[in-house]
Amino acid sequence: MPLLIGPIAHPLMRAQLAPQAVEAAPVLGALQGGGMAGIAPQGWPRLLAGDRMLPVWQTGWTPALRRYAEIFGLEPQDHDGRALLGLGEPAAEADEWQPALAAALAAWLLRLPASRPAGDLRRRLPMIATWVASRQRAAGENPGLPHVGPAGSPRTRIDSVEEPYSAYFSMEEIRLSQRRNDGDWTPPLLRAVFVSGDATVVLPWDPVRDRVMLIDQLRAGPLARGDAQPWLYETVAGRVDAGETPEQAARREAVEETGIALTRLIPAPHNYPSPGAMAEYLYLYVGIADLPDDSAGLGGLATEDEDIRSHLIPRAELTRMALAGEIRNGPLLNLALWLELRHAEIRQSLDAAMPGAADPGRLDRPGLPPSTGGV
């Protein structure tokens, strides 16, 4: 019988995998890593020599525990004749292990059909975890928004959710009924949704030089549509990985795609770009950055086959392009027009955060010209 140790022995995890587990004699040692346990495939802690008494829980092999261990590739490890389950090779660490996310991911995986090969699910764990984390954020956001739709509860009845396609992204088919505005219920409806998880979008802006950084890269959507120009001016953007915040994702993506560091993030209106068919939610930001002449170039991760080129453009030119219809990327268009409306207000807030500046209206840095709008 295996002994659960570390994150897999957390009460939220035991409730999903082995609710009948009983506490056993502790193990002497220390755990290293584990910040991504139950979230990333190789996120489990390593057992080292130490003087701590580590709690363990004894359990039989429940169907849920066996399936879960198979998906994550977990095998019992012998330690002084005791079979410990929940150990492995630590992955890149998160700031802090998130038990609620790990337990929600476990519940999601266990609801999937048993016919799905465990190896296929293991390969998809990063994207599945991203989607589960997106659902967690959605459940806790926007409580103060104005009420939309018919009053009363419930407003929808979901009969089934199936996943007819799953690779990097996936499709979900949702069968549901909806309460109409007149109070009656619709007959059963079928809705197909493209599932990709939340993403972060950030427009780097240098308020001293009053210039922004754009990128361009080949995009599959315009290519599939037959667009003669499938390379688009865009913002820095990317998925919000499980275990990180949208703000952390914005800073990470800026470094990966352009090599620049953002000193501050100004949140713009977040939104669903195409809510009729996509479950994607976008977190939009203006990122304050230092953008000298040599900051543009080539970027992107080779591991993701990214081929990205960055461009420096005066903010006023970006506004002109947006109004002239030359910007076809929706998030960039939103941020360009929002920044045009809010740049003076943002400057004032940045000035207020820089006490001692010789001229609070200029945001000057030593050796840099004042903000004139030119490159």
- The residues carrying an active-site annotation are 304
36, 11, 34: which is closest to 133 by C-alpha? Answer: 36
Phi/psi for 12 (5° steps) reads: -65, -35
344 vs 73, 101, 192, 287, 363, CA distance in Å?
54, 40, 43, 15, 12
The CA distance from 202 to 237, in Å, is 6
Contact 270, 202 (CB under 8 A): no
- 326 half-sphere exposure, CB direction, 13 A CA radius: 8
CA pair distance 210, 291, nearest whole angstrom: 9
